[in-house]
């Protein structure tokens, strides 16, 4: 009986994880359950082609849960509010934003603002494609020691690829944001 309960508990976790997994539709970039849209930076560049066959990738985390509220607060140097999920697709995933106390309720999570931590996690067969797509659009500076590959985009965020997971973090409003982003990415790596 105990073995059956453990199997059922494991199946429940996988089902919950799959509900937040990355999916693709023909002609559209992978999303995490939202309508495909593009960010302003990628509007002029065609989206990478989706994988021919997409399999459900079980992940226990998404953009809002891969970083804890405490980790986001540490990166920003102050207490942060409960995360808010955006609607726009950012390099294949939907951003989750942790706002500092100065950001007013109702702020659009699809628009970067000072005093925030933005997180995007893309899981699945298109993760590497999105990682490389963004890398080709920015002045990427390689970072060693983070995941399989990592880079600083030259102005605003750190991107990390580990297996079939692509993490992009931006800490907006601190003087040494690149260091804060690297530290935050390092904290997240064990969960990827």
Q: Do residues 87 and 34 touch, judged by C-beta distance below 8 A?
A: yes
Cα 98 to its chain centre, rounded Å, is: 12
Number of other CB atoms surrounding residue 106 within 10 Å: 6
Per-residue pLDDT reduced to its tens digit, 9-37: 333 333 333 333 333 333 333 333 333 33
Residue 135 predicted with pLDDT over 50: yes
**Single pTM value for the model:** 0.69
Q: What is the pLDDT of residue 153?
A: 97
List beta partners, residue 190. none
Helix (H, G, I), strand (E, B) or coil at 38: coil
Please, what is the average pLDDT of the chain?
Answer: 78
Residue 183: CA count within 13 A, CB half-sphere: 14
Q: Do residues 178 and 166 touch, judged by C-beta distance below 8 A?
A: no
Mean pLDDT of 101-130: 96
Q: What is the pLDDT of residue 91?
A: 87
Q: Do residues 83 and 120 touch, judged by C-beta distance below 8 A?
A: no
């Amino acid at each position: 009986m105990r073995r059956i309960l453990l199997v059922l508990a494991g199946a429940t976790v996988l089902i919950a994880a799959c509900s937040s997994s990355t999916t693709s539709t023909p002609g559209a970039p992978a999303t995490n359950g939202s309508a495909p849209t593009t960010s302003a930076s990628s509007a002029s560049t065609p989206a990478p082609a989706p994988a021919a066959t997409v399999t459900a990738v079980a992940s226990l985390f998404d953009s809002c849960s891969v970083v804890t509220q405490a980790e986001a607060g540490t990166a920003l140097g102050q207490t942060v509010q409960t995360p808010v999920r955006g609607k726009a697709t950012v390099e294949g995933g939907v951003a989750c934003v942790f706002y500092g106390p100065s950001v007013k309720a109702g702020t659009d999570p699809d628009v970067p603002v000072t005093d925030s931590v933005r997180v995007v996690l893309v899981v699945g067969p298109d993760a590497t494609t999105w990682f490389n797509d963004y890398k080709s659009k920015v002045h990427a500076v390689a970072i060693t020691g983070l995941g399989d590959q990592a880079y600083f985009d030259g102005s605003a965020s750190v991107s990390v690829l580990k297996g079939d997971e692509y993490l992009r973090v931006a800490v907006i409003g601190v003087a040494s944001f690149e260091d804060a982003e690297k530290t935050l990415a390092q904290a997240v790596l064990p969960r990827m």
